[in-house]
Amino acid sequence: MKPSLNEIKKKTIFMVCIVVVLLALLVLRVAYWQIIRGDELSGKAKAQQQGSSIVTASRGDIYDRNGKVLAESATVNTLICNPKDIEADGDSEVIAARLAPVLNMDQNEILKIITKNSRYQVIKKRLTNEQTEAVKKLRDSDVDATIAKAFKGVYFENDSKRYYPFNVAPHILGFTGYDNNGLQGIELTFDDELMGRNGSIETNQSAKGTTLKDQQNEYLNSSQNGDDVVLTIDETIQHFLEKHLEEAVTENKLKEGAAGIIMNPKTGEILAMATKPDFDVNNPYDIDQFEKYAIDLGYDTSDDTGDDPDATPKPTEDPNNLSDEAIAKIRNKMWRNKVISDTYEPGSTFKIITAAAALEEHVVDLNSTFYCPGFKIVADRKIGCANKSGHGAQTFVEGVRNSCNPVFMELGERLGYEKFMEYFTAFGLTEKTNVELVGEASSIYYHNKMSEVDIATSSFGQGFQITPIQLVTAVSAVINGGERMKPQIVKEIRNSNGILKTYEPEVISRVISEETSQQMREILVIEDVLNYLGVEKQYTENEEPDVKQEIPDVRTMDLTEAKKSVVDKKLNVQVRGDGDTVVDQLPKPGTMLNEDSTVILYTEEIDKTHTVTVPNLKGMSVDNAKYTLEMSGLNFEIVGAGHSEVSSAYAVNQSIAAGEEVTPATVIGVEFRQVTSD
Ligand SMILES: [Zn+2]
């Protein structure tokens, strides 16, 4: 029986249905492979057929404001290999034996790398020019065809290395890490802009993973070079600032180092900024330069937290034998940009701010008169002027130029707590400046109501701590017409096509009027304004620095002659022994002493066993500590930015602990703090 048409139709439909379902399944399957796992599969195929190598993007340059290159990248070679190529065409034993002496690597180590089951291995990064040339010769068949053949599978890859041609501004520029990423300074804050994007070259390979000789197809995923950063810094000014700071540190033996900043007050642009001692920007991990200061100056290499002073190296420790932890601490300290990361008591420089606020509030005018008897009674305290015998009668302008404390205490009193804090805040001293650098510290100031004594001492810059960059920004506002500017260190971002971004001067707020600013300029002009700002003054040991005298070498001199040389230096003499000729002296020649300190001259061999016990000075006033040390045959020195000129100051620290045995005439440094009013 023939199937009915109807049945045929049914069957056909059934068949079609099956085909459709099968087709659908097939389509889905194809779609699955194509769409869902497509990338993965084509990647696998590609990896089987192609090898790839990275093209490092060139990191952007850093320029000074005049176009001098402060940081640039140079290409260096990385030696890589394809172990599959070596296995197929090269000779791993020959490669390892020949490379070891050139790269200063262990032969077995190289052998291990180049025989790995891999298609890409780095043999050595950042070859020197000599190493690059030597390897090129090994690969050159004109030099030696046999060796060149053995080197099949060994290739160069471009990498880039950072250079700082002027070797200046380490704390501003910072440095980059092994992979060219920024780790400090502008290199870190502008890492995204400077970095660029790496590209890659892909080369066709056989299924075994060896590079196909005849196939030149290379796919280039283009790299994009980093943008350039133009700073507001002027390299010449930066150079001189660094030079002067270095001299200041060395000549004055500033154990805490020094920091300086030069700003255009009109625009807030930073022209120079430096901290000394510093580090070699081209060798940022090298602590030798910094350690040299430590040894020469007795510089404190411990970190500033003071959490664990015993764990940090003392300058006398052998610098070649430091623990990793000690080295890390030294590095952290030497990388520290004091201008933005360290707070300090501004002292007299702050008087500029107090004077400007007082003029603006009309609690004083240029001709107002004051009388300084050498102190001022505030609440129950007698707070001294640096000039103990008093400045006598003076006008406001004279008082400012005399830097007379009682005048400023009076201004503080007239302003009162609310106005004082209003200006303290308006001048930006309660907030970070947000300069484009990392590590900016917050200021430390009275958050609660200040007592009369707090206001008095604050009016001449004591009792709170700010950063140098905050101070220079505030002083700029005083003299630039009255506007507080945002400090700027970056001028523009650019690439080969031109400028991408410009940083315009930014006014934060008006703090004082044009008129007050004009008056302040008249009072300060440069009376040596720089003397007020005094870069080297900021970190001197004492607000009113003592005159230091270098002890002359009087050994072998006739006693009378020796006495005269010491007394000529305004130092006191004590003689030990009955001889006529000086055979030894303490302290040793070259030591810096305050005037009025004592030098002991020995006319007989020193009894080396003779020592003096260091007394406990804690809690003593300045006069009392000095007297106690004199009585013990020791010399006295004020250290730290303390409150030594305030009569209520008391000793909180001494450079050599009480109870220690020291040679006579040893200088004991004493740190003072003011009694807090609470
Ligand atoms: Zn005075």
* 344 phi and psi angles, rounded to 5 deg: -155, 165
Q: How far is the CA of 447 from the centre of ligand 1 (A)?
A: 29
Q: How far is the CA of 531 from the centre of ligand 1 (A)?
A: 18
- Per-residue model confidence as pLDDT tens digits over 462-504: 889 999 999 999 999 999 999 999 999 999 999 989 999 999 9
Is the pLDDT at 202 greater than 60? The verdict is yes
Q: How far is the CA of 393 from the centre of ligand 1 (A)?
A: 9
Average pLDDT over residues 395-415: 92
Is the pLDDT at 15 greater than 60? The verdict is no
| CB crowding 598-630: b at 16 or more within 10 Å, else e | bbbbbbeebeeeeebebbebeebbbeebbebbe
Extended strands (E) in 97-181: 121-127, 154-163
Please give the pLDDT value at position 102.
94
pLDDT class for 406, splitting at 50, 70, 90?
A: very high
- Per-residue model confidence as pLDDT tens digits over 94-125: 999 999 999 999 999 999 999 999 888 999 98
CB count within 10 Å of CB 413 equals: 16
The letter for the amino acid at 676 is T
Q: How far is the CA of 623 from the centre of ligand 1 (A)?
A: 20
The letter for the amino acid at 670 is V
Query: What are the CB-based long-range contacts (under 8 Å, 24+) for 172-175?
Result: 172/231, 172/233, 172/238, 172/273, 172/337, 172/437, 172/489, 173/62, 173/70, 173/71, 173/281, 175/281, 175/284
Q: How far is the CA of 455 from the centre of ligand 1 (A)?
A: 17
Average pLDDT over residues 73-77: 82
3-state secondary structure of 454: helix
Q: Residues near 557 by Cβ (< 8 Å), separated by ≥ 6?
A: 565, 581, 582
- Per-residue model confidence as pLDDT tens digits over 215-246: 444 556 677 889 999 999 999 899 999 998 99
Please give the pLDDT value at position 221.
67
Q: How far is the CA of 342 from the centre of ligand 1 (A)?
A: 30
Separation between Cα atoms, residue 198 and residue 224, nearest integer Å? 7
Q: How far is the CA of 133 from the centre of ligand 1 (A)?
A: 72
Q: How many residues does the chain have?
A: 678
Please give the pLDDT value at position 189.
96
Q: Is 111 exposed, middle or buried (0-12, 13-18, 19+ CB in 10 A)?
A: middle
Q: How far is the CA of 417 from the centre of ligand 1 (A)?
A: 22
For the ranges 47-51, 178-182, 185-189, 438-442, the lowest mean pLDDT is seen at 47-51
Q: Which two tokens stand for residue 378?
A: 């505030």
Q: How far is the CA of 425 from the centre of ligand 1 (A)?
A: 27
Q: How far is the CA of 255 from the centre of ligand 1 (A)?
A: 29
- Per-residue model confidence as pLDDT tens digits over 35-56: 333 343 343 444 344 456 666 6
Is the pLDDT at 197 greater than 50? The verdict is yes
Describe the crossing of helices 405-426 and 351-360 by its angle, rounded to 10 degrees.
Answer: 80
Rg (CA), the chain: 36
Please give the pLDDT value at position 303.
47
Q: How far is the CA of 457 from the centre of ligand 1 (A)?
A: 14
Please give the pLDDT value at position 250.
84
Q: CA angle, 124 as apex, 149 and 163 as ends, to 5°?
A: 125
Token match 């302040």: residue?
A: 520
Is the pLDDT at 93 greater than 70? The verdict is yes
Q: How far is the CA of 402 from the centre of ligand 1 (A)?
A: 7
Please give the pLDDT value at position 301.
56
Q: Which of 29-33, 310-314, 623-627 has the highest mean pLDDT?
A: 623-627
Cβ atoms of residues 584 and 555 within 8 Å: yes
Q: How far is the CA of 324 from the centre of ligand 1 (A)?
A: 51
Average pLDDT over residues 75-95: 90
Nearest partner of 468 among 630, 342, 329, judged by Cα: 342
% of the chain residues with pLDDT over 90: 41
Please give the pLDDT value at position 677.
34
Give me the half-sphere count of Cα atoms (radius 13 Å) on the Cβ side of residue 181. 3
Q: How far is the CA of 498 from the centre of ligand 1 (A)?
A: 57
Q: How far is the CA of 403 from the centre of ligand 1 (A)?
A: 7
Question: What DSSP line would sit under 401-453, residue for residue?
Answer: HHT-HHHHHHHHHHHHHHHHHHHHHHTTTTS----SSS-PPPPB---SPPPHH
Taking the CA atoms of 360, 362, 366 and 371 in sequence, report the sign of the dihedral they define.
negative
Q: How far is the CA of 520 from the centre of ligand 1 (A)?
A: 20
For the ranges 53-62, 278-287, 374-383, the lowest mean pLDDT is seen at 53-62
Q: How far is the CA of 392 from the centre of ligand 1 (A)?
A: 7
Taking the CA atoms of 90, 93, 97 and 99 in sequence, report the sign of the dihedral they define.
positive
- Per-residue model confidence as pLDDT tens digits over 443-454: 988 877 888 999
Q: How far is the CA of 391 from the centre of ligand 1 (A)?
A: 4
Q: Which two tokens stand for residue 20?
A: 């459709």
Q: How far is the CA of 371 from the centre of ligand 1 (A)?
A: 8
Q: How far is the CA of 453 from the centre of ligand 1 (A)?
A: 17
pLDDT class for 28, splitting at 50, 70, 90?
A: very low
| CB crowding 633-671: b at 16 or more within 10 Å, else e | bbbbbbbbbbbbbbbbbbbeebeeeeeeebbbbbbbbbb
Q: How far is the CA of 405 from the centre of ligand 1 (A)?
A: 5
Describe the crossing of helices 235-251 and 288-297 by its angle, rounded to 10 degrees.
Answer: 30
Is the pLDDT at 77 greater than 90? The verdict is no
Q: How far is the CA of 594 from the centre of ligand 1 (A)?
A: 23
Q: How far is the CA of 389 from the centre of ligand 1 (A)?
A: 8
Q: Residues near 462 by Cβ (< 8 Å), separated by ≥ 6?
A: 345, 347, 543, 643, 646, 674
Please give the pLDDT value at position 249.
85
For the ranges 96-110, 152-166, 304-318, 487-501, the lowest mean pLDDT is seen at 304-318
Q: How far is the CA of 354 from the centre of ligand 1 (A)?
A: 16
Cβ atoms of residues 293 and 249 within 8 Å: yes
Cβ atoms of residues 220 and 201 within 8 Å: yes
Is the pLDDT at 262 greater than 80? The verdict is yes
Q: Which two tokens stand for residue 553?
A: 């070498």
* 292 phi and psi angles, rounded to 5 deg: -60, -45
**What is the chain's percent helix, strand, coil content, to nearest 5?**
35, 25, 40
Q: How far is the CA of 406 from the centre of ligand 1 (A)?
A: 6
Q: How far is the CA of 343 from the centre of ligand 1 (A)?
A: 27
The bridge status of strand 584-586 relative to strand 548-550 is unpaired
% of the chain residues with pLDDT over 70: 78
pLDDT class for 567, splitting at 50, 70, 90?
A: confident
Q: How far is the CA of 675 from the centre of ligand 1 (A)?
A: 21
Q: How far is the CA of 384 from the centre of ligand 1 (A)?
A: 8
Separation between Cα atoms, residue 597 and residue 666, nearest integer Å? 10
By the CB criterion, residues less than 5 angstroms from ion ligand 1 are 372, 385, 387, 391, 404
Q: How far is the CA of 348 from the centre of ligand 1 (A)?
A: 13
pTM metric for this prediction: 0.63
Q: How far is the CA of 374 from the centre of ligand 1 (A)?
A: 5
Q: How far is the CA of 412 from the centre of ligand 1 (A)?
A: 15
Q: How far is the CA of 369 from the centre of ligand 1 (A)?
A: 13
Separation between Cα atoms, residue 160 and residue 155, nearest integer Å? 16
Q: Which two tokens stand for residue 184?
A: 């400090």
Q: How far is the CA of 394 from the centre of ligand 1 (A)?
A: 9
Q: How far is the CA of 409 from the centre of ligand 1 (A)?
A: 10
Query: Does residue 562 or residue 514 have the better pLDDT?
Result: 514
Nearest partner of 63 among 235, 225, 248, judged by Cα: 235
